[in-house]
Amino acid sequence: MPGTAPSFHSSPTRPTRRLLRRAAVALAAGAVLLGGGAVPASAAVPADAAGSAAPAGYHPERDFAGSTVAAHEGRSTSSTLSPLASQTPGTDVSSWQGNVAWSTAYANGARFAYVKATEGTGYTNPYFAQQYNGSYNAGLIRGAYHFALPDRSSGATQANFLVGNGGGWSADGKTLPPALDIEYNPYGATCYGLSQSAMVGWIHDFANTVLSRTGRYPVIYTTTDWWSTCTGNNGGFGSTDPLWIAHYASSVGALPAGWGYQTIWQYASSGTLPGDQNLFNGALDRVQALAHG
């Protein structure tokens, strides 16, 4: 704007105060512009469970299933891996994708989708309704997932937060069980400062709480390397929790102990579908079977 900026040594004029108030309101309710894109303020500045300001360095809008994997394990696959006849393509998305064109995703082959709902105990995806309901309305079988921060609160606390914010389940044949995204810590120590036995206990706490709230055990998203490092390659979940494995290569590779096969394989972080590229280990009727329980 033309004119002279107000002095910081004197009180702003009434018009200036009005502009400052409007700017503050816009930042609180609208979007923070970064590099020409818009990140909703609700994603950029989340509150914790008590409603206070987010901890410094907290960036849940940048955390999604696989956001830490390539940096630790690399990637060596084409994003155009062709599914076998016995595999069903799908995707997972977060606030990173914003509003998703689900009819286009369906036309390009997607038949299921996992949508990030929550992180820790204070962040909810501001695009969750559009992504979760939009995928359903376009004909995809959808589910919600939680990005775990095991050093912030108990597994039960975070499971309840997920279920209370979109991570439920219903036997409608179109809703997958909620999923736990447990991967490398984006904020520090790989295993979140927990011992292997404490991590196993945390995951059991989360899984059992989801079961008690929804009637379904959660799908577990992880990598074989992280699982081996942080749980001691614990084999105690394979009989209850479907495995969603992340491995960016031309084959799924070795699986964590306890699982004889993966239910979902996230094989690339980009490709034809929005978000990450996934293959369900079965034809569409197997996806429907998991949804039905």
Catalytic positions, please? Answer: 92, 181, 183
On the CB side of 57, CA atoms within 13 Å amount to 4
Separation CA 111–CA 4 (nearest Å): 58
